[in-house]
Amino acid sequence: MKVTFKKLFLVALLVMALAVLFPPVPSHAQKVIKIGVIYPLTGGAAAAGRELRAGAELAAKIANEVMSELPMKMAQHAGIQSLGGAKIKLIFKDHEGNPTLGADLAKKLILDDKVDGILGCYHSSVTKTVSAVCEQYGIPMINGTSTSPALTQRGFKWFWRTTPHDRWFTKDLFELLVGLINGKVKGVKPVPKEQIDEIASACEKTEWGSHVSGLIKEFAKEYGFKLKKSLLYAAKSADLSSEVRSLKASRAEVLLFASYTSDAILMVKTLKAQKVKPKIIWGQDAGFEKPEFRSTLGDSIVGILTRTVFLPKVVEIKALAGKVNELYKAKTGNDLGGASARAFTGVQTWVYVLEKAGSTDPKAIQQAANTITIPGKELVVPWAGIKFSTSGKEIGQNVLGSGLIGQYQKGKDGKIGLEIVYPFDVSSADMIFPFPGY
């Protein structure tokens, strides 16, 4: 068949016309990046789940829109710039506090929803099973809120944790006790060690609670405190009377707890009912920091301590935290807390990792996560930044995080809030000591 110049010209015109009508689409322009988010949205930790979801959603909204008034990189452009403005889509799943369900949900997100990565899961026991699934399938998982030290001691290649873990938090508590003895605590004269020498703990029998219990034993020995009683109780208990009687019988001056929301509320109610009045009550975050803990118990919590990574008082230290807190409060009616701030930071970390990777290929994401450094000025939490360990005993652990200890106090307006009492150099109020009772 003879091809004439006229035919070639007509073919060229047709190609040009098709190009105008159907322009080529860049391979990643406006791509949707799907992140599976597995949280406890129902059950005993549903209150925490609502905070976690709200914090994650706010971070995704900021990343997907332009909010130039926020002094953070991800607020200056809409979407992931290295991926053509790709938007973050969060696909939420409810693990109900069940590790087996969490693993099943992870498989469905990976195989059916084709997610590019996973965020979760709050409960360390669920994070343990979900991260094992991600490791099996080679899918990146960023964890912002689970604090069992063991999670980053498994040598996993597809798991990164932004939050400090319970070893750091529990050590902070004992540093606070030493500070009381040495007169370092704001507003408190040096306390003779014999007044706070004896401690007792009650932790829920889960992956997280069991690790906290072990750490309390370890640090009590290291710091020279006497552990009079160490209890593990069933999570979501209907009654904690026998546990509280045992704590009371120990006559310990310092009581330490690791409880999710419903158990934390029940524990304090039972302590009050049995008129247990130690010199210090300290909770390992979780239920001790939820809005429901405050609203349900009211004045009963004045003087109680809780560890956290974020308190509303941080907004007085960091302007960025204040601006983000305003957005969060407009969305939920509450201030950012430890759970919501860490969920926000988890999504933010995903955004920065994807920006650096410039791809949704798991290997590219892995490389970016292992080499990224996010400066502290970009974060709402008062950390030095985010940088993940790639060697040693804790693979994937952020080495730039830090904790706070807050105390419930009543302000001049009559409202109960958390004041920073540790670290000592950022204390926002005098510490109430001893615990005033109910």
Which of 26-30, 52-56, 258-262 ranks highest by mean pLDDT?
A: 52-56
Reported as a single tens digit per residue, the pLDDT across 91-123 is 999 999 999 999 999 999 999 999 999 999 999
> What percent of the chain has a predicted confidence (pLDDT) above 90?
79
CATH number reported for the structural domain that contains residue 254 in this entry? 3.40.50.2300
pTM of the model: 0.79
Residue of 164, 151, 143, 162 whose CA lies nearest to 403: 164
DSSP 84-131: TSBEEEEEEEE-TT-HHHHHHHHHHHHHTS--SEEEE-SSHHHHHHHH
Least confident of 215-219, 354-358, 374-378, 399-403: 399-403
- Arithmetic mean of pLDDT, 22-30: 45
Does residue 68 sit in helix, strand or coil? coil
- Arithmetic mean of pLDDT, 132-139: 98
Residue ranges making up the domain that contains 347: 32-164+316-327+338-387
Angle among Cα 338, 387, 376 to the nearest 5 degrees reads 55
Q: Which residues contact 329 (CB under 8 A, 6 or more apart)?
A: 335, 336
346 and 273 within one domain:
no
52 and 85 within one domain:
yes
If one counts the domains in the chain, the total is 2
pLDDT at 30: 53
228 and 125 within one domain:
no
Angle among Cα 7, 8, 11 to the nearest 5 degrees reads 85
Answer for the pair 161, 140: CB distance below 8 angstroms, yes or no. no
C-beta neighbour count of 66 within 10 angstroms: 12
158 and 179 within one domain:
no
Residue that has been written with the tokens 């994807």 in this structure: 354
Q: Is the pLDDT of residue 162 over 80?
A: yes
Answer for the pair 48, 289: CB distance below 8 angstroms, yes or no. no
Tell whether 395 is covered by a domain. Answer: no
Does residue 258 sit in helix, strand or coil? strand
pLDDT at 316: 83
- Arithmetic mean of pLDDT, 225-231: 97
285 and 138 within one domain:
no
Q: Is the pLDDT of residue 22 over 50?
A: no
Tell whether 275 is covered by a domain. Answer: yes
Answer for the pair 193, 199: CB distance below 8 angstroms, yes or no. no
Answer for the pair 313, 428: CB distance below 8 angstroms, yes or no. yes
Q: Which residues contact 213 (CB under 8 A, 6 or more apart)?
A: 201, 203, 230, 232, 258
Answer for the pair 152, 396: CB distance below 8 angstroms, yes or no. yes
Angle among Cα 162, 164, 168 to the nearest 5 degrees reads 165
Reported as a single tens digit per residue, the pLDDT across 29-83 is 458 999 999 999 998 889 899 999 999 999 999 999 999 999 999 999 999 999 9
Least confident of 128-132, 230-234, 287-291, 356-360: 287-291
Beta strands 404-410 and 416-422, pairing class: antiparallel
